[in-house]
Amino acid sequence: MLAAEIDQKSAREDAVSRVARGGGGPLAGAVAVRAALGGVVVLILVLTVAAVASAQAVVVDFSYDPAAPTAGESVTFTSTSSLERPIVLEAWDFNDDGEIDAFGHSVTRTFDAAGTYSVVLHVIGDTGTIRRASKLVTVSPSLPAPAPAPPAPPPPRPVVVEPSSPPPTSHPSPIPQPPTAPVPPPRTGSSAPTAIAPFPVVRIAGSYTTLGVRLRLFAVTAPAGVRITVRCQGRGCPYRRRGPLVVRGSGTRPVGGGGRYVRIPGFAGHLLKPGVRLQVFVAHEDRIGKYTSFRIRRGHPPLRADRCLRPGGTSVIS
């Protein structure tokens, strides 16, 4: 293997690679090692949980208006968050019960009763990083309705003098009106789905040359109960499709945050030719899942794309 040859010639040139790991979501890390073997560049890709210093400050916060809401009044919550990477999802929990109540950058909520509510904002980046911010929102009792004004006295009744022989009058018959169709009751929509927690992390590691990519690691970190399906298309694939693999508590290594570490077998040592497409589907019946794809390129690291899956893993969404 090319990586082993570089290790044998480490006396001729130092190769330094450093990969940082942290909890919260995946972030691609890569360290290039230039060896004295005809100018071949080897990049060890480790797509893992990383804490990378960024010039952009990480802010997870939100505001709400009005600042002193009352029961029954509409309150608008607006996220003022920013991450090192683009934000793909902002989810709101208005009573800190672990269930997402709304999605969006700006949402509206009405609190029916007075009290103090713990409002939590979850911000998810495009690499799966999840950060949260919480505030206590105090809702005051609604103001009592003003007392109704006393009714006005009835006007005096006019005195009508009827004639001795009133002229005959004719009254037109009423025009029948068509019956009105009953108005159906409004349909109530279902609650918005929540994301898999902790959100899955897909990692690969290996080396690339002009011949393709040789993997030494292919792993997924996800909570127990999810289904992992792997598809591989092109030359060098050990199989066309593998899965679905159900993540269980036994047989997998636990990691922080309630996730399980699952190593995908069959890819270690295989050379994936340029043009190969590798797809990973991490799905759940009732929650938003994870989709990751890699396209093998000639003389370049794989091109990665991350998306979300609808509940049940039926289709890919941005």
Token pair 């005195």 is found at 159
pLDDT of 170 reads 56
pLDDT of 163 reads 58
Which letter does DSSP use for residue 37 in this model? S
pLDDT of 318 reads 77
Cβ pair 50, 23 in contact under 8 A: no
Relative to beta strand 87-93, strand 62-65 is unpaired
pLDDT of 238 reads 87
- Candidates 120, 281, 134; CA nearest to 196 is 281
Q: What are phi and psi of 257, to 5 degrees?
A: 85, 10
Give dist(CA 83, CA 196) in Å, integer.
20
pLDDT of 144 reads 73
Give dist(CA 145, CA 143) in Å, integer.
6
Asked if the peptide bond before residue 198 counts as cis, ω within 30 degrees of 0, the response is yes
Q: Residue 288 is encoded by which pair of tokens?
A: 């938003």
Task: Give bridge partners of residue 215 from the DSSP assignment.
Answer: 206
pLDDT of 173 reads 59
* pTM metric for this prediction: 0.42
Give dist(CA 184, CA 263) in Å, integer.
53
pLDDT of 171 reads 57
Give dist(CA 65, CA 106) in Å, integer.
11
Residues in the chain with pLDDT values less than 70 = 1-56, 145, 159-190, 314
